[in-house]
Amino acid sequence: MTTHYLVLSALLFAIGAIGVLTRRNAIVVFMCVELMLNACNLAFVTFARQHGNLDGQLIAFFVMVVAAAEVVIGLAIIVMIFRTRRSASVDDASLLKY
């Protein structure tokens, strides 16, 4: 029965990963990363159910806290570059290359 949840988690992870690679707005890219983290959480909780131990559920809480910390740092950085460039597009920021 848990297989469906794992498939869903893999799909969410793939959607997130494809989003990171194709979307151009830094905020959306960042949301896709968060989607990937939540896909991980779903996998952890499912495996916890499958193995009958609580480790996975515990890890999900840690991941949520880490993701929250990441949001704080990430939004600070994205807002900083948006205020400078008036754009949050990852294509615009291209001074560093080659």
Partner 1 sequence: MNGTTITAPTIEYALLSPMLIVFGAAIIGVLVEAFAPRYLRKSIQMPLTLLALLGAFVTTVLAASNGLPTTAAAMGAVAVDGPSLFIWGIILILAFISALLINDDEQFVAQAAAVPGSVDEEEAVRSGFAQTEVYPLLLFAVGGMLLFPASNDLLVMFVALEVMSLPLYLLCGLARRRRLLSQEASVKYFLLGAFSSAFFLYGMALLYGYAGSVDLKAISAALGSVSGQDTLLFVGVAMLAVGLLFKIGAAPFQAWKPDVYQGAPTAVTALMASTVLVAAFGALLRVFWVALGNLDWDWRPLMWGVAILTMIVGAVLAITQTDIKRMLAYSSIAHAGFLLTGVIATGTAEQNSSALSAILFYLAAYGFTTVGAFAVVTMVRDAGGEAGHLSRWAGLGKRAPVLAGIFAFFLLAFAGIPLTSGFFGKYAVFTAAVGGGALPLVVVGVVSSAIAAFFYVRVIVLMFFNEPAADGPTIAAPSVGTSAVVALAAAATVVLGVFPQPVLTLADQAASALFIR
**Least CB distance from residue 18 to partner 1, whole Å?**
12
- 68 belongs to the binding site for partner 1 (CB under 8 A): no
Angle between helices 26-51 and 55-85 (to 10 degrees): 180
Task: State how far the Cα of 56 lies from the Cα of 79, in Å rounded to an integer.
Answer: 34
Kindly state whether residue 11 participates in binding partner 1, applying the rule CB under 8 A.
no
Q: Which of residues 15-54 bind partner 1 (CB under 8 A)?
A: 16-17, 20, 26, 29-30, 33, 36-37, 39-40, 43-44, 46-47, 50-51, 53
Binder of partner 1 out of 3, 54, 91, 98 (CB under 8 A): 98
Residue 25's φ and ψ, nearest 5 degrees, are -90, 130
Closest-CA residue to 48 (of 39, 33, 58): 58
CB 59 within 8 A of CB 40: no
Q: Two tokens at 95?
A: 């001074």
Which residues contact partner 1 by CB under 8 A? Answer: 6, 9, 13, 16-17, 20, 26, 29-30, 33, 36-37, 39-40, 43-44, 46-47, 50-51, 53, 55-56, 58-59, 62-63, 66, 69-70, 73-74, 76-78, 80-81, 83-85, 90, 93-98
